[in-house]
Chains A and B, each alone.
Chain A
Amino acid sequence: MVASIGELEAPGEPPLPTGVSAEEIRGRSPWYLAWLRMRRNRVGLAFGVLFLLIVLACLAAPLWADHVAHTGPNENHITDKILIDGQETYVVSPDGTPVGPGLHGRYLLGADQNGRDVMVRLLYGGRTSIYIGVVAAVVTTVFAVLVGLLCGYYRGWIDAILSRVMDVVWAFPVLLLGIALGTALALGGLKIGALVVAGDSLWIPILIIGLVYVPYMARPIRGEILALREKEFVEAAVAQGKGSLRIMFSELLPNVVSTIIVFFTLNIANNMLLESSLSFLGAGVRAPNASWGTMIADGYQTIYTAPHLTIVPGLLIVLTVLSLNVFGDGLRDALDPRAKIRLEH
């Protein structure tokens, strides 16, 4: 229905739809509209909540370790005994068989062959995996945004050089590149000038994972910046005498934030998968520290007799990655329903 002239609030302003006040329209920022769209996506929200619950459980690992299990993630209790159903039982029997899962506070998910509490290691392992996933995603995002902005804004030889470097990194299979770097850095660590990272530091997998995914995020950002650079608002900014850095960070960057947010979320999931694979293959998190990947690797050795040692961390990886992917997809739909961005590998 078209509003009559008499219904106009003020001369010179566009007409309002019937029944909608100007106040309502003014309150809807792009973020608010995105939230409204996200709120309608029940499945996406449910998986977002699931991810939050997993993160909270992992953050509570020290509480479980101190008040329920009474042991740390790396503490061996091979010859200790625990009370199960009023009977003293070895944590690891003389023939090497560890206690299995059961409804006892300590060793809820049983012990591994070193007499370590699997539940405690699972929670601490989750902290490690999620920590690596998130921090590596931050590393990826920082580098990818810088590369994307520089290439897209300056174009020319800067774009040519950086894009070829990205192509080279992209040309390597991610897992093989991760294994090669992880193995090479395992013994001596990383030493670049004043930057020294020990071989067993979590920063090794974080940097490896963070850097190998830079091209996957940098290229779409570069593409968007290339398109935005031709827009009128950039020309206006140039005409106003704004410097290149200011244009990049205060004019262009805000316009790709929604893309960055979506990529960041999806990137965490991919990072966690890569961390698990690298740790499983011995090139990620170092023993005795737990991550879900190292737990699968350890459990795999006993998969015939204690399959839960592999299945439980595996399921948690599945749930976490699934929740992040579905939530990330939902975010993408909410932030920019017309976008066709994909994080593929």
Chain B
Amino acid sequence: MSMLRKAVTVAAVTTLTAFGVAACGGGSDSGGGGGSGGELNVTMTSFPDYVDPQLSYTTEGWEVLYNVYTPLLTYKHAKENAGAEIVPGLAKDLPQVSPDGKTYKLTLRSNMKYSDGTPIKASDFTYAIQRLFKADSGGSVFFEPIVGATDYADGKADKIAGITTDDNTGDITIQLTEPNGTFNDLLGLPFSAPVPPTTPLDKDATNSPPPSSGAFKISAVDAPRSLTMERNPQFKTLTDAGVSNLPEAQVDKITVTQNKSNSAQVTGIEQNTIDFMHDPPDADRLPEVKAKFAERFRMEESINTYYFFMNTQTAPFNDLRVRQAVNYAIDPEALNRVFGGRLHPTQQILPPGMPGYEEYKLYPGPDMNKAKALIAEANPTDRDITVWTDDEPDRKRIGEYYHDLLTQLGFNATLKVIAGDVYWTTIGNLSTPDLDTGFADWFQDFPHPDDFFRPLLNGKNILPTNGNNFSKVAIPALDAKQNELLKQLIGDGGVAEQYSALDKSYMEQAVWAPYGNEEFTTFTSDRVDFGKAYRHILFSQDYSALSLK
């Protein structure tokens, strides 16, 4: 072979190798159908953390599980604030609460079956709560007020004394150690959805999810690549039992696929090979999508807070001045541009739309001079820090921005970018080394400010695994204030204001560096009936409302 021919051959092979590896992604044609029925392709940049109602605690997971596992109570399948209304799910009615607020009585509807034909029993609720504790769920902290729950979690009891059930009558009685203003909300979360006792008690059931009690069942899981949802064949047993708040599935099958390329997802929707993407289009494609596909794209309000966590228990972030310096240094407008203009700047814990939200700003900035002065004053001896973020494009960019910021402040920062589908379980695991600081966000689980304090900032939620208190915040006085407020209803006079003050108290300690509230999007293919699709205020896109034209 001549030298020139060799050169050309090598060039061709090299080009293919260099670019060929980028040729993954894309979508596939899906079958269609008019009106009710057909199949949909949904993509997510990160796969759900768990396909398990007791363990899942991400927006991706809850979007899938909302229409698969129905708790005793549920959140109404409705747009905007109507979706925050708690209504009966598998229970016949809302609970009867004793005058002292400590006893909740519910009755399970009769003759309901899971998707595999197994009868749904009242004791399955107890089993679900037991799983929360034995499988170290991040949601277990919400259910600790049940009498005997902590003893069960600690292995001191073999059952939770505060829950009694009768499988014959369907009666369920829950006793709390003290009144809890959010307990109805908690009973509507996937955490407490009944599952049959064949589900592993202390293990993740992602690879073989329990049978469903909603409009869809999970028919296949290939984590972290894809999962398939199909109509629940036993759904009629639910409606026959009187469940009226669960809409029927509009399509026969939904395939949820992980696709790491946001841009490929956008193109897939434009070309109708993907029907819906969980994540908003990336900043570089957003203007094009807004301009060209206005008839099937809209911005959606979402109640969330984006922040950087800082480990308050180890150097250098155990020094208040260092944490304050970070708050002064951050430029929310820069981060807004990373999000393509979808991030409203903030510097507080509670987001707009959440009861108790009252705007304030303790660390006006960005003020690098002030930040550097604070760092100089603190003069931390340990300047080697690890910055954590996940590999979703905007989050990786946020991490790179934050890494640069900390470098400018004089730290020797190392950036760790890990896969989005294992990010939360990694940083929520106490045994992970070097959990100094990094990206975090929080989307409301239920419309109550306690949801932004208890799981994220309460000292009791520093858990060995699946924790969400990434800053390792444990301030006894503020924990006590949370507990005191929880005994009251949010509508009681002055409670919302006290939550606002609690917000400010935490930020005076600069436990986080919050920087924005993200707007979400709904972007569908041309095949989808866009008018019916909507983003639920708690559970992201409501799959039961997705239908083909």
A residues neighboring B (CB under 8 Å): 41, 43-44, 47, 74-76, 78-79, 92-97, 113-115, 186-188, 198-200, 273, 276-277, 280-282, 286-288, 296, 300-306, 310, 314, 317-318, 321-322, 325-326, 329-330
Task: Provide a sorted-by-A list of 24 A–B residue pairs whose CB atoms are within 8 angstroms.
Answer: A76-B334, A79-B331, A79-B333, A79-B334, A92-B337, A94-B337, A95-B286, A96-B338, A96-B341, A115-B334, A187-B416, A187-B426, A273-B14, A277-B21, A286-B415, A296-B22, A301-B282, A303-B263, A305-B284, A310-B19, A314-B18, A318-B15, A318-B18, A329-B3
Q: Which of A114, A186, A314 contacts B401 (CB 8 A)?
A: A114
Smallest CB separation, A128 vs chain B (Å)? 15
Residues on the A chain within 8 Å of B205, using CB: none
Which B residues are CB-close (under 8 A) to A317? 14, 18
- Bound-state Cα–Cα, A326 to B401, Å: 40
Q: Which of B6, B336, B396, B397 is the one whose CB lies under 8 Å from A329?
A: B6
Contact among A113, A282, A321 with B284 in the assembled complex (CB-CB below 8 Å)? A113
Tell me whether B239 is interfacial, beta carbon within 8 Å.
no
> Which 8 pairs, one residue from A and one from B, show the smallest C-beta to C-beta distance?
A96-B283, A96-B340, A78-B334, A43-B3, A305-B284, A302-B284, A288-B400, A76-B404
Given known contacts A78-B334, A301-B262, A329-B3, what 6 new A-B pairs fall within 8 Å (CB)?
A43-B7, A94-B341, A97-B284, A115-B334, A280-B22, A304-B284
The 8 A CB mask of B1-45 against A (1 = contact, 0 = none) is 001101100110011011101100000000000000000000000
Q: How far is the CA of A188 from the CA of B414 in the complex (A)?
A: 13
Minimum CB–CB distance for B264 against chain A, Å: 9
CB distance from A51 to the nearest CB of B (A): 13
Asked whether any CB of chain A lies closer than 8 Å to the CB of B407, the reply is: yes
Which secondary structure characterizes the binding site on chain A? loop
**Is B403 an interface residue when CB atoms closer than 8 A count as contact?**
yes
Provide the residues of chain A in CB contact with B14, threshold 8 Å: 273, 317-318, 321-322, 325
Whether the Cβ atoms of B337 and A306 lie closer than 8 Å is no
- Name the interface residues of B317-341: CB closer than 8 Å to any CB of A: 331, 333-334, 336-341
B315 at the interface (CB under 8 A from A): no
Residue of B7, B261, B401 with most chain A CB atoms under a 10 A cut-off: B7
**Which A residues are CB-close (under 8 A) to B263?**
300-304
Contacts A41-B3, A318-B11 hold; do A305 and B416 have CB atoms under 8 A apart?
Answer: no
Question: Of the candidates A92, A198, A286, which one forms a contact with B417 in the assembled complex, judged by CB atoms under 8 Å apart?
Answer: A286
In the assembled complex, the Cα of A29 lies from the Cα of B281 at a distance in Å of 65
Check if B162 is an interface residue, CB within 8 A of chain A: no
CB distance from A142 to the nearest CB of B (A): 26
Please report which residues of chain B, range 340-379, place their CB below 8 angstroms from some CB of chain A when the two chains form the complex. 340-341
Bound form: Cα–Cα A325–B419 in Å = 35
* Docked-complex contact B399 and A287, CB < 8 angstroms: yes
Q: Which residues of B contact A43 (CB under 8 A)?
A: 3-4, 7
Instruction: Return chain B residues, CB-CB under 8 Å to A115.
Output: 334
Docked pose: A78 CA to B331 CA in angstroms? 10
Chain B residue at smallest Cβ distance from A78:
B334
Q: Are A326 and B341 in contact (CB under 8 A)?
A: no
Q: Which residues of the other chain, B, contact A95 by a CB distance below 8 angstroms?
A: 283, 286-287, 337, 340-341
A280: B residues at CB distance < 8 A:
21-22
Given contacts A74-B407, A300-B261, A301-B261, A326 and B21 within 8 Å (CB-CB): no
**CA–CA, A287 to B403, complex, Å?**
10
Given contacts A95-B283, A96-B341, contact A321 B418 (CB under 8 A): no
Indicate with 1 or 0, residue by residue over B273-295, a CB within 8 angstroms of chain A CB atoms.
00000000011111110000000
* B287 CB, min distance to chain A CBs, angstroms: 6
From A75, A96, A300, contact of B404 by CB (8 A)? A75
Q: Measured between alpha carbons, how far is A325 from B14 in the docked complex, in Å? A: 10
> How far is the CB of A3 from the nearest CB of chain B, in Å?
37
Asked whether B200 is an interface residue with its Cβ less than 8 Å from the other chain, the reply is no
Which of A273, A314, A322 sits near B11, CB closer than 8 Å? A322
Chain A residue with the shortest CB-CB distance to B333: A79
Our count of residue pairs bridging A and B at CB distance below 8 angstroms stands at 151
Tell yes or no: B433 within 8 A of A by CB. Answer: yes
Encode contact with A along B404-430: 1 for CB under 8 Å, 0 otherwise. Answer: 110100000011111100000010000
Complex Cα gap A96–B418 (Å): 24
A288 near B403: Cβ-Cβ < 8 Å: yes
Contact A273 B415 (CB under 8 A): no
Give chain A residues whose Cβ lies under 8 Å from the Cβ of B250. none
B145 at the interface (CB under 8 A from A): no
Most buried by B among A94, A276, A288: A288
CB pair A93 B22 closer than 8 Å: no
Q: Which residues on the A side are within 8 Å of B7 (C-beta)?
A: 43, 47, 322, 326
In the complex formed, the residue of A with least CB distance to B401 is A76
B393 interface hit (Cβ, 8 Å): yes
Q: Are B404 and A287 in contact (CB under 8 A)?
A: no
List of A residues within 8 angstroms of B283 by Cβ: 95-97, 113
A78 and B337 within 8 A (CB)? yes
Q: How far is the CA of A169 from the CA of B221 in the complex (A)?
A: 33
A1 to B261, CA, bound (A): 73
Question: In the complex, what residues of B have CB within 8 A of residue A296's CB?
Answer: 18-19, 22
Contact A188 B433, CB 8 Å, known A96-B283, A300-B22: yes
Interface residue? B150 (CB, 8 A): no
CA distance A321 to B288 in the complex (A): 36
- What's the least CB distance linking B228 to chain A, in Å? 26
Is the CB of B301 closer than 8 A to any CB of chain A? no
B391 within 8 A of A: yes
Q: Which residues of B contact A302 (CB under 8 A)?
A: 263, 282, 284
Q: B267 contacts the other chain (Cβ, under 8 Å)?
A: yes
Question: Which residues of chain A are within 8 angstroms of B400 by Cβ–Cβ distance?
Answer: 74, 76, 114, 287-288
Q: Chain A residues near B21 (CB, 8 Å)? A: 277, 280-281
* Min CB–CB distance B197 → chain A (angstroms): 36
Pick from A74, A96, A322: contact of B403, CB under 8 Å: A74
A326 CA to B13 CA, complexed, in Å: 13
A44 to chain B, nearest CB (A): 6
Task: Report the minimal beta-carbon distance from B9 to chain A, rounded to whole angstroms.
Answer: 9
A172 to chain B, nearest CB (A): 18
CB-nearest residue of chain B to A280:
B21
**What separation, in Å, do the CA atoms of A302 and B7 have in the docked complex?**
31
**Residues B22 and A287 in contact, CB atoms below 8 Å apart:** no
Would A304 and B285 count as touching, CB distance under 8 A?
Answer: yes
Q: Which residues of A contact B416 (CB under 8 A)?
A: 186-187, 199-200, 286
Q: Which residues of B contact A304 (CB under 8 A)?
A: 263, 266-267, 284-285, 288
User: Which residues of chain B come closer than 8 Å to A200, judged between CB atoms?
Assistant: 414-416
A71 to chain B, nearest CB (A): 11
Closest residue on chain B to residue A274 by CB atoms: B17
Q: Known contacts A95-B340, A305-B285: does B403 contact A276 (CB below 8 Å)?
A: no
| Closest A residue to B267 using CB positions | A304
Known: A78-B334, A282-B417, A321-B10. A288 touches B404 (CB 8 A): yes
Given A113-B284, A304-B263, check contact A78 B4 (CB 8 Å): no
* B18/A276 in contact, CB under 8 A: yes
Task: Report yes or no: B3 in contact with A326, Cβ–Cβ below 8 A.
Answer: yes
Q: Which residue of A lies closest to B283 (CB)?
A: A96
